[in-house]
Amino acid sequence: MTIERTLSIIKPDAVAKNVIGQIYSRFENAGLKIIAANMAYLSRSDAEKFYVIHKNQPFFKDLIEFMILGPLMIQVLEGDDAIAKNRRLMGATDPKKAETGTIRADFAVSIDANAIHGSDSQETAATEIAFFFPEINVYSQRNVSSGTF
């Protein structure tokens, strides 16, 4: 197993539903540590930069309008196999296709309002983490075991 980091965003729909804590519990129960966190509104230009990879997709405009509707909860997760583990916890992009018990199946209503974003590869994770967090604000816990306290 490799210790990885991944970027996670709780989107405006899930923040408005008041389920940040329930989603954080799922990360923690799966062994993922929250090593950076920030609540923020995205400006339109930052949303367009963050999702630039999708800029030619037909859903790009709706995606940007949705992501600037309200505050986001943005975090870095660290742990064994964190990228794939987080994607399993999230479930399929379209909540109608997401497995029962996943975050999107439980908290999302549509492919646009799909509750959560997570990096899809090591390369994307590095870029997405750097987009939101300077390294000095990322507090690795890899050398801290619960037996320390």
The site for ligand CMP (CB under 6 A) is made up of 54, 59, 63, 93, 111-112, 114, 117
Q: Is 54 a catalytic residue?
A: no
Task: Name the minimum Å distance from CB 91 to ligand CMP.
Answer: 11
C-alpha closest to that of 135 among 61, 52, 78, 67: 78
Q: Which is nearer to ligand CMP, 44 or 142 (CB)?
A: 44
The 3-state DSSP class for residue 127 equals helix
Task: Name the minimum Å distance from CB 138 to ligand CMP.
Answer: 21
Which residues are 78's β-sheet partners?
A: 5, 33
Q: Which is nearer to ligand CMP, 43 or 142 (CB)?
A: 43
Task: Name the minimum Å distance from CB 113 to ligand CMP.
Answer: 8
Q: Which is nearer to ligand CMP, 122 or 143 (CB)?
A: 122
The dihedral over CA atoms of 84, 101, 63, 134, expressed in degrees to the nearest 10, equals -40
Residue tagged active-site, from 10, 98, 117, 128: 117
Assess contact for 126 and 116: CB atoms under 8 A. no
At 71, list the tokens: 């505050």
Q: If you search the block for the tokens 């030619």, which residue do you land on?
A: 56
Please give the positions annotated as active site. 117
